[in-house]
Amino acid sequence: MLAKRIIPCLDMIEGRVVKGVRFVNLIDAGDPPELAVAYEAEGADEIVFLDITASYEERDILIDVVQRTSDQLFIPFTVGGGIRTVKDIQSILKAGADKVSINTAAVKSPEFIQKSARVFGSQCIVSAIDAKRVYVDIDAPLGNRIVIETPEGLCWWEVYIYGGRTPTGIDAIQWAIKVEELGAGEILLTSMDYDGTKDGYDLPLTKKVVQRTKVPVIASGGAGAIQQIVDVFKITDASAALAASIFHFREIAILDLKKELQNNSIPIRL
């Protein structure tokens, strides 16, 4: 049976992991490959690197990180952040990454996903979607937006780009349907409302996107406790759960998390 995946995410600037990471026994806690290897040893199923380097000119540093990671890491890893061209994808995959995640460039030019999927195969194209709730009145004119009644109120979800800085007016659930049509092999769905809150994943959003698409959906944003990760797998059919700080700061050990998932009859690789 296909297992649910647990994915730690590492944010990097200029080849260094940002936000502190509290690991013991590491020579260099800021070195992405070394951290990724430590996570593999703990039972992570996959790693996501998100390059948030402001300058596009620093790409050589990223390529070096990808190469060093692929020499040592024996689980799949995805690289995202600032990917704009087919050439960007090619250099990252050639350096040894298994997948790339595309966000802003896809929103600005949807055919980029189509082209990338055709050249490299859907299996290595992850569409990253940053979504934020827009609460509405029941009487408001909503056009073709997908509106859902959540415990917090009636809302739709808007796609944001440029690292969550720029709203686009695009309906996130419809965008998810669209990226699948264009050939994305997976959707990395981040709730901007819940990211950093530790209140748990945005379950109504995750559930709806899973329902409306056939590709694997990675839930992201909000994980703060083991029970919330159990919930995202019990309440939605998400394929994977991504988290950053709770793993980095040892608030949750991956092994403990996986044991608890297994206790809840969720298929997991132990």
Partner 1 sequence: MVNLAIVNYEMGNLKSISSGLKKVGAEVQITKDPNALIAADGIVIPGVGAFGDAMKNLAPLQPTILEEISNGKPFLGVCLGAQLIFEESTEFGLHKGLAILKGYIERLPETVIAPQIGWNQLIIQQFDNPLVEGVENYSYVYFVHSFYPVPENPDIIVAKTDYGLEFASIVAQDHIFATQFHPEKSSAVGLHILENFINFIKQ
Cβ of residue 145: shortest distance to partner 1, in angstroms? Answer: 27
Q: How many CB atoms neighbour CB 250 within 10 A?
A: 11
Known catalytic membership, residue 171:
no
Scored b (16 or more CB within 10 A) or e, 19-43 reads eebebeeeeebebbbbbbbbbbebb
Contact positions with partner 1 (CB under 8 A) in 208-237: 214-216
Choose between 73 and 172: whose C-beta lies nearer to partner 1: 73
Residue 71 touching partner 1 (CB under 8 A): yes
Task: Tell me how far apart the alpha carbons of residues 101 and 216 are, in angstroms, rounded to a whole number.
Answer: 14
Cβ of residue 239: shortest distance to partner 1, in angstroms? Answer: 7
Binding piece for partner 1, criterion CB under 8 A, among 115-123, 197-205, 243-251, 255-263? 115-123
254 Cβ neighbours under 8 A, 6+ residues apart: 6, 8, 39, 42, 43, 44, 247
* Number of residues binding to partner 1, judged by CB under 8 A: 30
Angle at 262 between CA 260 and CA 267, to 5 degrees: 140
Say if residues 198 and 225 touch (Cβ distance below 8 Å): yes
Q: Which residues pair with 220 in a beta bridge?
A: 190, 242
Residue 114 touching partner 1 (CB under 8 A): no
Give the residue, chosen from 90, 122, 150, 174, that forms a contact with partner 1 under the rule CB under 8 A: 122
Known catalytic membership, residue 11:
yes
In single-letter form, the type of residue at position 259 comes to: K
Cβ of residue 153: shortest distance to partner 1, in angstroms? Answer: 33
Question: Which residues belong to the active site?
Answer: 11, 130
Residues in contact with partner 1 by CB under 8 A are 1-3, 5, 40, 45, 67, 70-72, 74-76, 93-96, 98, 121-124, 185-186, 214-216, 239-240, 269
